[in-house]
Amino acid sequence: MESNYSEVNGIKMYYEIYGQGKPLVLIHGGGSTIQTNFEKAIPLLAKNRKIIAVELQAHGRTSDRNQDSSFEQDADDVATLLKNLKIDKADFFGFSNGGTTTLQIAIRHPEIVNKIILGSALTKRNGVPDWFWDFMSQASLENMPEQLKEGYKKVAPDPNGLQIMHDRDAKRMLNFKDIPDEQIKAIKVPTLIINGDKDVITPEHAIEIHRQIENSELAIIPGGHGEYIGEITTLKPDFKESELVIPMIEKFLDEKL
């Protein structure tokens, strides 16, 4: 594993590289780090390809910029990082907020995209149950899952950044605006949409995205938000690697364009 920082649009962006082969970029969700989202999946994915895992603004080891987070800015940051790494084109797998960022990469930077995988991605406010917005309006650090807080403190240079990360993520969700249908329909790259049947994102929303992206496949997997990749808050004592969706992801990525 190689890890480093890159100067990206005014922040020091942290990334890790594993394995060899075609590049696959992993983009984590809100309040998360590379490890809390992808620790279980990376060793499996890195057997056959080059994995570039990133940490976005204010998350994990990446610095903050003195402005609110946005999915568009995160997308631009990832695109700039790849430019710095001299990677012209890659596949992208984004989970949760990272899935929404991956959508923005496909919308804003289609020239760098081969294929995208959207794990529990949100494109519309009605893609989650009503309780979600009530919960977000009362978001506080106390309510953040302990595993995510610990995951942040384990790697962050400054533990006080936890509050900043939390507040940036909460504000971004509260101000979330629907991504226009025409932007989603304009995505032409092969797309795999993955959602849990007990996810925060409703299965109906995943179906809607599937219908809007012409060249897409859809998988509804038993389980909760991120259980299909072994996201840290979903791990149970009887966790088995064999229950992850890695073979499905690899099959999708290996299909000829």
Is 159 contained in some domain? yes
Instruction: Give the integer Cα–Cα distance in Å for 60 and 158.
Output: 10
- For position 8, what pLDDT does the model report? 98
For β-strands 50-54 and 23-27, DSSP reports them as: parallel
Q: Contact at 8 Å (CB) between 35 and 155?
A: yes
Is 201 contained in some domain? yes
- Read off φ and ψ for residue 38, nearest 5 degrees: -120, 5
Cβ-proximal residues to 23 (8 Å cutoff; 6+ apart), any chain: 49, 50, 51, 52, 87, 89, 90, 91
- For position 123, what pLDDT does the model report? 98
Is 257 contained in some domain? no
- For position 91, what pLDDT does the model report? 98
Which residues of the chain fall below pLDDT 70? Answer: none
For β-strands 90-95 and 23-27, DSSP reports them as: parallel
Domain count, the chain: 1
- State pTM to two decimals: 0.98
Q: What is the DSSP-derived secondary structure letter of residue 108?
A: H
- How many beta carbons lie within 10 A of that of residue 140, not counting itself? 10
Is 254 contained in some domain? no
- Mean pLDDT score of the chain, rounded to an integer? 97
Residue 168 sits in which domain range? 2-249
- For position 76, what pLDDT does the model report? 98
For helices 71-84 and 97-108, what crossing angle results, to 10°?
70
How does pLDDT run across 125-166, given as a tens digit for each residue? 999 999 999 999 999 999 999 999 999 999 999 988 999 999
- For position 208, what pLDDT does the model report? 98
- For position 188, what pLDDT does the model report? 97
Is 46 contained in some domain? yes
**CA distance from start to end of the chain:** 29
- Read off φ and ψ for residue 159, nearest 5 degrees: -60, -25
- For position 97, what pLDDT does the model report? 98
CATH code for position 64: 3.40.50.1820
Is 256 contained in some domain? no
- For position 62, what pLDDT does the model report? 98
Residue for token pair 């976005």: 56
Is 184 contained in some domain? yes
Instruction: Give the integer Cα–Cα distance in Å for 74 and 6.
Output: 14
- For position 159, what pLDDT does the model report? 84
Is 81 contained in some domain? yes
* Token digits of residue 142: 């106390």
